Amino acid sequence: MTGRLYLSQDTSARAVGADRLARAWAKVPGLELVRTSSRGAIFMEPLVEMDGPHGRIGWPNAGERDLPGILQGENGTPIERIPYLAKQTRVTFANAGVTRPLSLDDYRTHGGFQGLEAALRLTPQKIVEEITVSKLRGRGGAAFPVGLKWQAALETHADRKYVVANADEGDAGTYCDRMIMEGEPFRLIEGMLIAAYAVGATEGYIYCRYEYPAAARLLRDAIALLTEAGYLGDEALGSQARGGGRFMLEVFVGAGSYVCGEETALLQSLEGKRGMVQAKPPYPAVSGLYGKPTLISNVLTFATIPAILARGGAWHASLGTEHSKGTIPLQIGGRVKQPGLVEVPFGLTLEDAIEEFGGGMAAGARFKAVQVGGPLGSLFTKSGFKTPICYDAFARAGAILGHGGIVVFDQETDMVELARHFMAFTADESCGKCTPCRVGSVRAREILDGIGLGRRRPGDLELLADLGETMKAASLCALGQRAPYPVLTAIEHFRKEFQ
């Protein structure tokens, strides 16, 4: 038996047996096993692939004993004919499942550094204009126009500027940043390099959450490789153009605090302090890390930059809806048949996301509700299924897209218990700076505890609504401002369960 097979090394692939296959097949003579990133079709993992005459051929959910058949080429499915993948518009995840995460050769032969090369032919101001034309909005959740942020950081004069990638992907139900860091760390770093050149930053940090040890390791390895190759360090690529020539990049690991995903708390944490939210302004682009101008965006945003520079801002602006340009990697999970990452232009309806890509409900499950945008996202029932997935439509519905997480709940979900869970989460994670968030979340959890135990008192639901309004109005960051939404939308759609 001889041949070359491909198998993902992504955490989710390993979580469902990819390493087990690799160990079992390690001693097979003549077999070369190439560990790649994951295609994001996690429901197919472990997915084993082989080169075919017209692209890769895949064997989803492969087991140890399938090896002889796979090597004979029996019953494989051409990857390009898998509808789940064929129907997507892969840009940021174009190489997902194809390349080796730490191979610079693979990255280069699959379009790597084209964005950086294009950027280095432009002046910093022209780069920022390209980003502005692209109409890219921050992908971490706040959806702030990225061009404005870059312009502010560029215009602010300082002896030192920073670029910081927010890799504290704490919103439950999301993992696209993790997949980028584990699957194509060079793309993130290329985006950061372009940003550094554009705004004149000489130092950068990737603030990676503690819960992602594999991502932190891969990033450190990627930084070492890029330093060796001359992209990072004291004499970084493009040094002539930039004058100084220095761009140092470091991975900094957090310590399990959700609120550190908020940019001002993250910067506090990066300085080694307690992760407390700070009032804005000043915005980080003007005064951030150690009081210096700091361009901070989440991983996905930086990873989107290389394609924009390589293909032009106008190309990016041609995708998506009126105010939501480009693509969004949706992370569809919960009780659907086909959980995984789906990159599509903005504008797909929630129904299409769940039915067409999610494949509908898993065996034995009936749809009850769907939450979009992580633990602070609103709940929808089927009445919201026609909502297009874009910032404007979600804002109109009083909801958020957040980081693109979509979690589907089934008929066995107890809505009171779920609401209690949301508030317990906020109570656990509140940094305590704002009283409404610190106290309100605990009070709301207590009330929901009581309702769950069948001890609802008159006025409880009114009190929850009142607490919610206070938290929304009087909290500094999205945690306090948004935490009431999942609870209040649960009550709105499933009022009977709360009585």
Partner 1 sequence: MNRIASLLERARSADPDDRPPNILRALHAVQAALGSVPQDSVPEIAAALGVTEADVAGVLLGYPELRTRPPGRHVVRVCLGESCVANHCGRVLKEVEKKLGVRLGDTTRDGRFTLEKIYCAGNCAASPSVMIDEDVHGRVAPASVGALLKDYR
Q: Which of 196, 328, 350, 408 is in the footprint of partner 1 by CB under 8 A?
A: 408
> Is residue 274 a contact residue for partner 1 (CB under 8 A)?
yes
107 binds partner 1 (CB under 8 A): no
Residue 214 binds partner 1, judged by CB under 8 A: yes
Interface with partner 1, residue 494, by CB under 8 A:
no
Q: Applying CB under 8 A, which of residues 28, 132, 158, 252 lies at the interface with partner 1?
A: 252
The radius of gyration of the chain's CA atoms, rounded to the nearest angstrom, is 23
Please state the closest distance from residue 390 (CB atom) to partner 1, in A.
22
* Contact flag: residue 171 with partner 1 (CB under 8 A): yes
Nearer to partner 1, 11 or 134 (CB): 11
Instruction: Return the number of the residue (228 or 290) whose C-beta is nearest partner 1.
Output: 290
* Residue number with CB closer to partner 1 (112 or 275): 275
CB of 53 to partner 1, least distance (A): 31
User: Binding segment for partner 1 among 6-14, 81-89, 150-158, 393-401 (CB under 8 A)?
Assistant: 6-14
Q: Indicate which single residue of 6, 7, 8, 11 sits in contact with partner 1 (rule: CB under 8 A).
A: 11
Told to check if 418 binds partner 1 by CB under 8 A, we report yes
Does residue 258 bind partner 1 (CB under 8 A)? yes
Q: Which of 58, 147, 340, 484 is the binder for partner 1 (CB under 8 A)?
A: 340
Q: Does 404 participate in binding partner 1 (rule CB under 8 A)?
A: no
Nearest 10 degrees: Cα torsion 187, 193, 198, 200:
160
Instruction: Say whether residue 226 binds partner 1 (CB under 8 A).
Output: no
- For partner 1, the binding residues in 49-88 under the rule CB under 8 A are none
Q: 185-199 and 299-311 helices cross at what angle (nearest 10)? A: 70
343 touches partner 1 (CB under 8 A) = no
Considering the rule CB under 8 A, would residue 257 count as an interface residue with partner 1? yes
Q: C-beta of 124: minimal distance to partner 1 in Å? A: 25
Token pair 């009126």: residue: 322
Q: What angle is formed at CA 296 by the lines to CA 293 and CA 298, rounded to 5 degrees?
A: 175
- What are the residues binding partner 1 (CB under 8 A)? 11-12, 14-16, 42-43, 45, 169-175, 178, 210-214, 252-258, 269, 271-276, 290, 331-335, 339-341, 371, 374-375, 405, 407-410, 412-413, 418, 421, 425, 428-429, 431
